[in-house]
């Protein structure tokens, strides 16, 4: 019998992660709860993604689970209270994807405000000789509100400030180390800003926090950018606001029910849509994959985690 610890892999593994994991662990791809029963007592660790998390029925089925290594920063789909109760370690790939996610927020903001995607379509359709594309919106001197001011929110603030944009933020608490204005009222922030960028954590506390009231406060000249979680936005309210032009536009990297997103988004010209790609660069995804493995190796070497959540 192998002495390698048994690991359940919930998400498909990229080659670099699979190759490294196989050297130190015995891997068991998750297929179903029924099949899991046969190996459940042996499983000591899990690899998963932030979007998949660890469903409660899987955690409950693993009596000897010791550690969960997440390929991402989201833990909203992991029962952390239960993990604490059972003394299960949880680690994420925090601090590896901050810059790329912040870059995507800025890219979406620029793309939707300057009409980059619609202008690309305009040129490719051969319309330039006979028509004039609509004007975009300037970024300079616009006001940016950032909801969620952790590492990613602060990295976004640094970037947009370089464009001469004014920044304020909403967060669960003020960040005294930042020179940006703290606004404890999200609706007040939405009323003040021209662009509202979402960088909050997912989970019940932030579910549907961007509702019709917030969108109406953002107003007909306001833009929404979401690189957080699809659950943060009331999508029915957002679609209505976009269709009725009660906001100017939206740049969206995340959605509810992704990848099977609401098809109503597909026909909206005032949107720029991405397939949850904020951290999707060769450099960052490689670093994330390696950190997932490094956390497991560290845990099974001396019971420590390099980037623990709990």
Please list the active-site residues: 229, 258, 276
Instruction: Answer whether 208's CB lies under 8 Å from 238's CB.
Output: no
Gap between the Cα atoms of 50 and 56, Å rounded: 14
Quick one: DSSP state of residue 89? E
Write the burial class of residue 163 (CB in 10 Å: 0-12 exposed, 13-18 middle, 19+ buried): middle
Beta bridge partners of 92: none
Gap between the Cα atoms of 167 and 172, Å rounded: 17
Helix (H, G, I), strand (E, B) or coil at 11: coil
Helix (H, G, I), strand (E, B) or coil at 76: coil
Q: How many Cβ atoms are within 10 Å of 167's Cβ, its own excluded?
A: 24
Gap between the Cα atoms of 286 and 14, Å rounded: 9
Instruction: Answer whether 89's CB lies under 8 Å from 304's CB.
Output: no
Q: What are 17's two structure tokens? A: 């992660």
- Compute the residue count for the chain: 310
245 sits in the region (left: phi over 0; alpha: psi -120 to 50; else beta) called left
Contacts 24+ apart (CB under 8 A), 82-91: 82/56, 83/59, 83/310, 84/310, 88/59, 88/310, 89/299, 89/305, 89/308, 89/310, 90/308, 90/309, 90/310, 91/67, 91/295, 91/299, 91/305, 91/306, 91/307, 91/308, 91/309
């Amino acid at each position: 019998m192998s002495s390698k610890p048994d690991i359940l892999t919930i998400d498909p593994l990229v080659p670099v992660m699979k190759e490294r994991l196989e050297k130190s662990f015995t891997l068991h791809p998750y297929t179903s709860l029924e099949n899991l029963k046969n190996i459940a007592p042996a499983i000591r660790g899990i690899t998963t993604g932030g979007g998949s998390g660890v469903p409660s029925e899987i955690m409950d089925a693993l009596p000897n689970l010791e550690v969960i290594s997440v390929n991402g920063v989201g833990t909203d789909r992991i029962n952390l209270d239960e993990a604490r109760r059972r003394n299960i370690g949880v680690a994420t790939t925090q601090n590896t994807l901050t810059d790329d996610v912040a870059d995507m927020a800025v890219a979406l903001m620029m793309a939707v405000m300057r009409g980059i995607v619609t202008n690309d379509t305009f040129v490719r359709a051969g319309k330039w000789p006979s028509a004039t594309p609509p004007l975009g919106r300037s970024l300079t001197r616009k006001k940016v509100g950032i909801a969620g001011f952790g590492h990613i929110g602060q990295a976004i603030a640094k970037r947009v400030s370089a464009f001469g944009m004014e920044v304020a933020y909403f967060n669960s608490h003020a960040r005294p180390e930042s020179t940006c204005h703290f606004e404890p009222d999200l609706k007040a922030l939405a009323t003040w800003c021209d662009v509202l960028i979402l960088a909050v954590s997912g989970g019940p506390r932030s579910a549907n926090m961007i509702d019709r009231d917030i969108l109406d406060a953002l107003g007909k000249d306001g833009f929404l950018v979401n690189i957080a979680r699809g659950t943060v936005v009331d999508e029915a309210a957002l679609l209505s606001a976009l269709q009725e032009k009660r906001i100017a536009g939206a740049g969206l990297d995340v959605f509810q029910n992704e990848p099977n997103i609401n098809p109503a988004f597909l026909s909206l010209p005032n949107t720029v849509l991405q397939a949850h790609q904020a951290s999707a660069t060769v450099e960052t995804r490689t670093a994330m994959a390696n950190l997932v493995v490094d956390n497991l190796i560290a845990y099974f070497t001396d019971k420590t985690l390099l980037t623990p959540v709990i």
